[in-house]
A and B are shown apart, each in its own frame.
Chain A
């Protein structure tokens, strides 16, 4: 554990040498928030039942959660993909380290400041909702975040393992990222979907990444039975992690290392 913390610290220091990265990241988040609000304002202009204030609050929390659980840009998956593609994976394989936690610590260190923004978004979102006064719901939120982290871990690992088969995974990564954005209901509010679609979306693991935890702040009209979703999330997490791990292990056996 101490080794991984050192790796994290090292990457954080490495990243801090480029303050421009931090500045551009703040700007990027600010502009994406601005454009998303613009899109939602256009929808609210045409749809009377849509409250922009609620949408803003929901966005802050879902954006905060997706950033914290590392599903926002699939950083870890992309990092592993790059290592595989560039042949740098060999450098890790020959070392007496556990590859996955080591690279995970790498990426947490590099993106540490982003988690601060994610956390800031989440805290601001929580402060403007009633959730902050309800400890039970706060605990539930933490449990959903923990489940989100594990589901996100499996998705990142799956995306990374594809790089053993394809040299160009840019389009695949882009599609997975966009699909998660829509299927996790982070882009448009759930009530815009038909009832059947709402049920399907809530049953899929993607809703666990944004909508279900963020909906805790909305009063829970649609998601009232959080316990059921907690169990569902845990089941999805176990299934996806087993599948992703086996896929990764099988793919790793096909890896032809260079430079050893």
Chain B
């Protein structure tokens, strides 16, 4: 019998609920982590602000961005990073390890939507709050919002691009992690995706790239959407509707790619127990 839409949603909601609940219990069981992460994040903010202060002590603008605009870029970059590492990235780490150890057999033998389960396997909602608390308190105070030219339209477009960008980054990382099915190794591929994300996506503003590199980083290696493109749109430096359209198209393509490559990878999976 074909599954109804209601069943489809219920099944996924149950998985989501179970994963969130497990992560919350896990977080409460080790509450000292909350404090260590809080202190670490605060130290990180201070050091990064020191970095920005140093650069802007010597230059007025970097790639057309004032210090105030760069603080917003930094705020978005960190929000994106923490969201990805708390919700989407742990699933990929599990996937790679499970392929290596053969544990994936247990996942595949369960009557659940496997791809959905793997994607949202660990949802650390508390981690997002605990890791971003100091950020979301300190950064908005430091930014002079009145000096930024933000409209409601640009803000909505920018935030939409940001969330779609997080999903695109995740799918990009997912595609790289699938190499584990063929080579038995996926962790170094995940490391490589972080190189793009850290050094490219969350360090240099969109306007800092020349057009050819920008197109490459908005299509083949789509790491600019979540931070660079969304900040540019929020600040009104890029056309919001045009960027939204590009983001939606890339997101759609990567979504299809995710499903296709997952099926191909599964066909190449050498089960450990059967």
Contact = CB atoms under 8 A, between A and B. Distances in A.
A and B co-occur in one complex:
yes
- Ranked nearest first, the 9 interchain pairs of A and B with the lowest CB-CB distance are A35-B199, A46-B59, A24-B188, A18-B185, A175-B40, A21-B188, A168-B33, A171-B37, A28-B195
Most buried by B among A32, A35, A36, A187: A35
Interface in B219-242: none
B7 interface: no
Interface in A120-179: 162, 165-172, 174-175, 178-179
B253 interface: no
Given A38-B208, A168-B37, A20 B189 contact: yes
Given A20-B179, A42-B63, 16 more contacts: A20-B183, A31-B195, A31-B196, A32-B199, A35-B200, A35-B204, A43-B55, A46-B62, A162-B36, A167-B30, A168-B33, A172-B37, A174-B44, A175-B41, A182-B47, A193-B57
A115 B51 CA distance: 28
Contacts of A169: 36
B191 A42 contact: no
Contacts of B131: 171
Contacts of B32: 165-166
B55 A188 contact: yes
A47 interface: yes
Given A21-B185, A28-B195, A39-B203, A170 B58 contact: no
Interface residues of B, number: 42
A169 B62 CA distance: 33
Contact of B44 (A47, A167, A175, A187): A175
B58 A47 contact: yes
Interface string B17-52: 000000000000010110011001101100110110
B252 interface: no
Contacts of B199: 31-32, 35-36
Given A28-B192, A171-B37, A178 B59 contact: no
Contacts of B54: 188, 192-193, 197
Contacts of B192: 24, 27-28, 31
Contacts of A28: 188, 191-192, 195
A31 B194 CA distance: 11
B188 A20 contact: yes
B30 A168 contact: yes
A194 interface: yes
